[in-house]
Amino acid sequence: MGMIFTILGIAIATVLAGIGSVKGVGAAAQASMGVLSEDSSMFGKMLVLTLLPGTQGLYGFIVGFLMLIYAGVLGGGDVVTTEQGLAYLGASLAIGIGGLVSGIAQGRAAVAGIGLCAKDDKNFSKAMVSVTLVEIYALFAFIVSLLTVISVPGMKF
């Protein structure tokens, strides 16, 4: 039963955070393409603003990958107890839900920042600060999940 909870946790961490990133990056990419169709010299700035919402998916992947390792899924380790599986499931919720919500919110902030830069590219640093503020909450969720995963009793490392 523990392995079922663990696999469910891995799915939650990676899929939900990934969905947040996909929606955020997708929205920012659409806005960027509109700007680039008018001024291709803005590519570097548009790329940075478009990429920022993608970090949530990366955080979810890291948490899921660590769960795969610690639970022995990749190494054929010991049997995961129900308590350990529930701990992994709980650990996944922070980055799964936090990544989903912050990825979408960061994408919206990036779209607004892209619009600001389209009017005057001197506003890029202001846009970056605003978009990066949302990243703080994704980092909080990532750290909570990471610390929980590495604190599960009986971990492999």
C-alpha 69: how far from its chain's center?
A: 19
Please report the pLDDT score of residue 79 as a whole number.
Answer: 81
CA angle at 88 for the pair 78 and 81, rounded to the nearest 5°: 35
pLDDT one-digit tens code per residue, 10-66: 999 999 999 999 999 999 999 999 999 999 999 999 999 999 999 999 999 999 999
Is the pTM of the predicted complex or chain greater than 0.85? yes
Burial of 157 (0-12, 13-18, 19+ CB in 10 A): exposed
Of residues 76 and 102, which shows the higher confidence score?
A: 102
Element (H, E) at 66: helix 55-70
Please report the pLDDT score of residue 76 as a whole number.
Answer: 65
Number of Cα atoms under 13 Å in the Cβ half of residue 9: 34
What's the CATH number for 2-151? 1.20.120.610
